[in-house]
Amino acid sequence: MSLHAALQELDYPCTYPFKLICQPDAVETVRQAILKSLGDGAEVTDVHQRASRNGRFVSLTVTITAQSAAQIETVYADLAPVPGIVTSL
């Protein structure tokens, strides 16, 4: 199942976690990119980060109350060009 199809099946509004693996020096840039993409009306319910065992990467989870599949897809599209993101889940 594609991400688009999976997002269409969710009941909105709902809690949605953006999970990313970043380089340590990019965490704040990534966090700000998510907030900018969401806009002023977004509700961020949790932000959690954890360094990898060797400190080379940081796992970043930003949980929001998503209003639509389009909102989630927009955030992923806006994150694509952000430097320092190793992968997003």
Domains of the chain (ranges plus CATH)?
3-88 (3.30.70.260)
Q: How far is CA 2 from the centre of its chain?
A: 17
Residue count of the chain = 89
Q: What's the pTM value of the predicted model, to 2 decimals?
A: 0.87
In the predicted model, what is the mean pLDDT of residues 42-61? Answer: 93
Tell me the chain's radius of gyration from C-alpha atoms: 13
**Residue labelled with tokens 């009306």:** 41
Burial class (CB within 10 angstroms; exposed 0-12, middle 13-18, buried 19+) of 34: buried
Percent with pLDDT over 70 in the chain? 100
DSSP states along 1-51: --HHHHHHTSPSSEEEEEEEEE-GGGHHHHHHHHHHHH-TT-EEEEEEEEE
From CA 23, how far away is CA 55, in angstroms rounded?
9
CB atoms within 10 A of CB 55: 8
At 42 the pLDDT is 76
